[in-house]
Amino acid sequence: MADGRLYFLPELRGRTRVFRDRAHAGAVLAGMLGELRGTDALVLAVPAGGVPVAAELARRLDLPLDVAVVSKITLPWNTEAGYGAVAFDGTIRINEPLVARAGLTARQVEAGIEETLAKVQRRVRALRGKRQPPRLAARLAVLVDDGLASGFTMATAVAALRRAGAGRLYVAVPTAHEEAVGRIAQGVDAVYVANLRSGPVFAVADAYRHWRDVSEDEARRILQAAQGAAGGEPRDR
């Protein structure tokens, strides 16, 4: 079903535990994006959790796979909660209202930015090596993660890709809160969500029957396997 720029599966709306794992979620998304099979579209995974989803989607649609590294800036006392994000090109976004509510000092925010920037730079080296960034102009890029809670990190990735020259840009996620989708839809051409949910309590993990963290090493192995199946480097058509 399409709703403006939003495409979702009505039969999965509001449900939990709808995917076996991230690979199954990627297969479901591939079914929604079947018209892209064999085109020059580029799949960009948000590591680490988005890599298994994106790899399965790219495999099923015969599309090249790469990464768009972005990471949330987490609260000093809670590494699951973020108050901002840093992207691969140094783009930084801060959720100022959340910073104020949390009572963070300027020094704490600066330290968080520096730590996250170092993490992003390390991940870029680990996951992309010396490969040049893919060409994005006049090409559809499909940005994939394993889910959207607030959407703040994804919005930072979108801003970075626009700065990098992305022409058409889709976001594709297995599960998302509808408020997050509303924020993301403003900056992209389309949002594909298999499992759209709402309500005061939302966790990405609740959409999966088997959920675990994806390590950086695992993400690197998945990317290397995908590149090997494609004949080495990601195809830059």
What is the distance between the alpha carbons of residues 57 and 60, in angstroms, rounded to a whole number? 5
Could you tell me what percent of the chain has a pLDDT over 70? 95
Confidence of residue 3 (pLDDT cuts 50, 70, 90): low
CATH number of 2-69+134-229: 3.40.50.2020
What is the distance between the alpha carbons of residues 65 and 93, in angstroms, rounded to a whole number? 26
- What's the pTM? 0.91
pLDDT at residue 1, rounded to an integer: 55
Confidence of residue 8 (pLDDT cuts 50, 70, 90): very high
pLDDT at residue 229, rounded to an integer: 67
pLDDT at residue 234, rounded to an integer: 52
pLDDT tops 80 at residue 179: yes
pLDDT digits (tens, 9 = 90+) for 190-214: 999 999 999 999 999 999 999 999 9
pLDDT at residue 84, rounded to an integer: 92
pLDDT at residue 230, rounded to an integer: 59
pLDDT tops 50 at residue 23: yes
Per-chain mean pLDDT for the chain: 91
> In the chain, what is the greatest distance between 2 CA atoms, to the nearest angstrom?
51
* 127 backbone dihedrals φ, ψ, rounded to 5°: -100, -25
Mean pLDDT confidence for 109-114? 94
Mean pLDDT confidence for 218-227? 91
pLDDT at residue 5, rounded to an integer: 86
Mean pLDDT confidence for 64-93? 90
Tokens of 54: 């994106």
Residue 187 contacts residue 20 (beta carbons within 8 Å)? no
End-to-end CA distance of the chain: 30
pLDDT at residue 237, rounded to an integer: 45
